[in-house]
Homo-oligomer: A and B are copies of this chain.
Amino acid sequence: MQKEDCLLDRCFLCKHSLPAWKSLIELKKTTFSFKKGKKIFQEGEPVKGIFFIYEGSVKVTMNWGEQKELILRFAKAGDVLGHRGFGGDPFYPISATALEDCKVCFIDNSFLEASLIANPALSNQLMQVFAQELQKAEKRMRDLVHMEVKGRIVLALFEIIDAFGTDENGYISLQISRQDIASYAGTTYETVFKFFTELTGKGILSTSGKSIKINDPKALQSFIKY
């Protein structure tokens, strides 16, 4: 982790702050780098502040017992991390792990709170973030409960493409493991695996090395049954 300059336009806090605050924010915030696979923060740790991603991608997870994890969401440049520390417990209820090499801005709690009080527009922006994430979370809750596994895996794929996009050949820009897809869809590694071989067999999906490409989105859709 090392301190660096921050790309203003990619940082939530800078983007939504009053111009007058920007120089102050520059002083206050610290930028850290995380290597792929490193934990940015962990379930149970005391909350010290809030993070803004301005480079790389991150998975936000929650554990069940020792072995099982659920990926709650993926986050990418421009997204906020660690705001779940707000309210109640001063301990993170979740973990955040870098999926690629990442750069994140860190703002400590006291400065953030001061900013929120002084700058209602920022406060409103953050509230919007919360509201949207709450909506997404509840929708996902329903999906995880009522959809069958194949549908959930399909949804995971769409979600991942939505978050990270595809390269010029149509492959998902992020190298994501089948284990992570399983953790997002709330299923097991093997099940994802078998489904993928079924899909590649039918030509709906292609895999090249570690990367995945969707050939037939409509056919995928059809696995989502109401």
Contact = CB atoms under 8 A, between A and B. Distances in A.
Nearest to A141: B141
Given A94-B138, A137-B141, A127 B126 contact: yes
Contacts of A56: none
Question: Interface size bucket, A side?
Answer: 35 or more
Interface in A115-159: 116-117, 120, 123-124, 126-135, 137-147
Contacts of A86: 127-128, 131
Contacts of A143: 64
Number of copies: 2
B93 A135 contact: yes
What secondary structure prevails in chain A residues at the interface with B? Answer: helix
Nearest to A67: B226
B120 A64 contact: no
17 contacts: A64-B146, A72-B141, A83-B131, A87-B129, A87-B131, A88-B131, A88-B132, A116-B120, A117-B120, A117-B124, A123-B123, A123-B127, A137-B137, A137-B138, A137-B141, A144-B144, A144-B145
Interface of A: 62-66, 68, 70, 72, 83-84, 86-88, 93-94, 116-117, 120, 123-124, 126-135, 137-147, 186, 226
Given A64-B226, A84-B131, 18 more contacts: A64-B142, A64-B143, A64-B145, A72-B138, A84-B134, A87-B128, A87-B135, A88-B132, A116-B120, A116-B127, A117-B120, A117-B124, A123-B123, A123-B124, A127-B127, A130-B130, A130-B131, A140-B141
